[in-house]
A = this chain, B = another copy of it.
Amino acid sequence: MAARSQIPANLLSGHPVSKAVTSRLSLYLRELQRLVRDGHDRTSSKRLGEALGITGAQVRKDLANFGQFGYPGVGYRCQELIGQIKKILGTNRPWTVALVGIGNLGRALLGYRGFIQQGFHVGVAFDVDPAMIGSTIEGIEVYGMERMASVISHHEIKLAALAVPSGSAQQVADQLVEAGITGLLNFAPVTLALPGSVHLVEVDLAIELEQLSFAVVNRQQKN
């Protein structure tokens, strides 16, 4: 028993799951939620895939990493699959997110309704600007950076969004890790160096536009 592997319950196969698989899971979730809103209660891997521009086989293979959720001859029950995918992604429970940096982007994140819909809630915010510290924006209290460790550990927050200028991103990231953050969503256009135990997702908006620019200039076919 003690010698049992430490593979998380979600994963059935021994090997880790690629990022490609998990981001498609998020897409399946989004599409299933739309189907439910539109009154559907069943779908198939083929139809789910078509809505997202991928094959049915891909959908089935992705889900097979985590279990058997379908009914041969029938397909998938939307509500049931939503529940399963949320469980896999860990969003069957709400997450509180700490936000650092209340500039334009930070403020947009504070008020972003898409987070709440998927189970994420910005619970606390931090900034260096003395004029903001102590105030409340969108119902969220803004703390000074020196309160980071205590506030984050007190609320047992594990996820943070980093929306500070590039120059201070690494230093703030270090502070967040020190405070106990294990997942970091970085909007600053710099590559952060973090301990392997901390998970990092990068969103660089300029890079996304560069991808578009490249595609347009080279008239690449969509894939």
Take A205-B109, A208-B201 as given contacts and tell me if A213 and B91 are in contact as well, using a CB distance cutoff of 8 Å. yes
Chain B residues, CB < 8 A from A51: 191
- List the number of copies, as a whole number: 2
Q: In the complex, A31→B216 CA distance in Å?
A: 24
Q: In the complex, A26→B208 CA distance in Å?
A: 9
Residue from B27, B89, B198, B203 within 8 A of A213 (CB atoms): B89
Chain B residues, CB < 8 A from A190: 30, 34
- Contact of A8 with B217 in the complex, beta carbons under 8 Å: yes
Q: In the complex, A218→B220 CA distance in Å?
A: 36
Does A19 sit within 8 A of B, measured CB to CB? yes
Residues of A185-211 contacting chain B, CB below 8 A: 185, 189-191, 196, 198-201, 203-211
The count of chain A contact residues (Cβ–Cβ below 8 Å) is: 75
- Contact of B214 with A90 in the complex, beta carbons under 8 Å: yes
A14 to chain B minimum Cβ distance, whole angstroms, is 13
Task: Identify the A interface with B (CB < 8 A).
Answer: 6, 8, 10-11, 16-19, 22-23, 25-27, 29-31, 34, 51-53, 88-91, 95, 97, 104-105, 107-112, 114-115, 117-118, 120, 158-159, 161, 182-185, 189-191, 196, 198-201, 203-223
